[in-house]
Amino acid sequence: MSRRLNALVIGNAAYEAVDALKNPVNDAGDVGAKLESCGFTVIRCLDSDHAGMDRTLKKFQRVLKDSDVGLFFFAGHGMQIDGENYLAAVDTDATDEITAKHSSLPLNRVIEVMEKSGCSTSIVVLDACRNNPFERAWTRAIESRGLAPVYAPRGTLIAYATSPGQTASDGRGRNGAYTAALLTHLATPDCSIETMFKRVRNTLSAATKGKQISWEHTSLAGEFFFNLSLGLRIDLYAETSLSDGLFVLDEAKASHRLIRELKSLTWPRQNPAVDGFTAEVANRASLDALFVVGRNLYQAACGGSHSALGYLRDFASRSSGIKEPKRKALLDGMLFEAFFDANGKLRKEFKLRQFEPLFALQRHKELAPSFDFIAECLLPEAARFYSIPGKRHEVAIDVATRPSAKTGHHHVLETVHCDGASVLWLEDEDYAPEPGEKPRMETLDLDEFEQQLSEQMLVPPHLLKINYASFKPNGRETIAFPRGWTARKR
């Protein structure tokens, strides 16, 4: 159940015409990070002038064309003029109401962009109900306080930090009171958006002793969850397959007997069981059983079963007689086992002993749906990866070394750069050298070095593009890699 989620978050604090605000940049940054943890692709716009807000909204408009869900978040000054709402840029000209309107972002424009995008769900969240500081410069007083209620088109939810016509003060801590409450509940697993905002309202009321009551206007046509648990996101397999510790074996079924033998963790039982696993046996099995077979096949391969390892390495041909989607279920299970434990929870340490042969299968176009499956499973954890495993995205790195005094082919690793930053860091403090001592080194040939980087960065070798800045490789080089250091994503 793949969801295409895109968000635009804007936080304006460094206002030129009035006092700066304390929280909005933090609010936007923190909400953006929380949305990314829920699978959103986030466009950030911080302390932006009017022209910058306009450009960013147009960029958001373009990505919404290929989106199922669009979300707009704004923290900063908002104002109501002649019954309509405007979101102030840092350079909003507040000489008078007319100038203020034309140097701010109209909320109605945002809503119209989202309405006409084709998204099935549009969400607008506004932490912008602070007192209007601009009206002091205007020629007449503005009686309306806060933001005005607006029409929510079908499929839209608009959330305000306060009830219509009321105001909220800038927060005292890192976040405004409303955003702090939002961050508390936004990523709650399997909580519908309506329930989530009710919880936000309750937390906000408690934090402000009832002085600030959030409010939503909704015309959503269906349910939306920011954070679906794995069992709800992945609807191809039963919960007992995703959490295969709960899978009940039936000895009358050949596939179940295979699972039993694979779970024995002994090669004399595993090897003959794998050797007897034919396409005929697979085609009689259910998708859930084959998913669990795949999990245990990969486990056996990582445990050293030569038959399981042979099946993995020769999967494309060994499984060619298995019908789709049963073949897919088998590979889905193998990929799932690498990242998820017996309870269906993401592993703290991924099972990577056979990472290279497993992800080498990605080169077979007919197996692509399984890699799309694991990418979807891992999407909420995108921050843990340079590129989500399963996605066919190349990752380019630059490796800098210095020549060793040993031979002309021996080099000492200095840095590994990715996305403009060094990604090599000391993971195991026990290997930190004493003052005045040199780090302990492990000598690797070029293939071993590249395989180690591939596994640490969780990028298959065929997608990891390495540029050696200090030498032109000829295959005879060795590289001294500091022990305890890694290029793993922090």
- What are 437's two structure tokens? 């001592």
Q: How far apart are CA 111 and CA 43, in angstroms?
A: 17
DSSP letter at 192? Answer: B
Whether 53 and 173 share a structural domain: yes
SS3 244: helix
Asked if 28 and 139 sit in the same domain, the reply is yes
Residue finishing a domain among 228, 247, 264: 228
Residue by residue, DSSP assigns 258-282 as HHHHHHT--HHHHHHHHHT--HHHH
Domain boundary among 187, 203, 228: 228
Q: Which token pair is 223?
A: 């349910």
268 alpha-carbon distance from chain centroid: 41
User: Judging by DSSP bridges, how do beta strands 78-81 and 121-127 pair with one another?
Assistant: unpaired
Q: How far apart are CA 65 and CA 410, in angstroms?
A: 52
Q: Does 221 share its domain with 328?
A: no
What pTM does this model have?
0.65
Same domain, 348 and 477: no
Question: Are 72 and 119 in a shared domain?
Answer: yes
**Segments forming the whole domain that contains residue 278:** 232-384
Indicate whether 375 and 405 sit together in one domain: no
Is 439 a domain residue? yes
| pLDDT digit string (tens) for the chain, length 490 residues | 457 899 999 999 999 988 888 999 999 999 999 999 888 999 999 999 999 999 999 999 999 998 989 999 999 998 888 888 899 999 998 788 888 889 999 999 999 999 999 888 999 999 986 666 666 555 433 444 567 778 788 899 999 998 876 777 666 789 999 999 999 999 998 888 999 999 999 999 999 888 899 999 999 877 788 887 676 667 788 888 888 888 999 999 999 999 999 999 999 999 999 999 999 999 999 999 999 999 999 999 999 999 999 999 999 999 999 999 999 999 999 999 999 999 888 899 999 999 999 999 999 999 999 999 998 888 777 778 899 899 999 999 999 999 987 667 899 999 999 988 899 999 999 999 999 898 999 999 999 999 999 999 999 999 999 999 989 998 889 999 999 999 999 8
- Residue at which a domain ends, from 384, 413, 442: 384
* CATH of residue 59: 3.40.50.1460
User: Does 325 map to a domain?
Assistant: yes
Q: Is residue 302 located within the same domain as residue 219?
A: no
Give a yes or no: residue 237 inside a domain: yes
Asked if residue 158 belongs to a domain, the reply is yes
In one-letter notation, the amino acid at residue 401 is: T
Pair 268, 330 in one domain: yes
Q: How many domains does the chain have?
A: 3
Task: Tell me the HSE value of 195 on the side-chain side, using a 13 A CA sphere.
Answer: 11
Q: Does residue 390 fall inside a structural domain?
A: no
**Would you say residue 355 lies in a domain?**
yes
Task: Tell me, yes or no, whether 204 and 256 share the same domain.
Answer: no
The answer on 366 and 248 residing in a single domain is yes
Q: Are 135 and 177 in contact (CB under 8 A)?
A: no
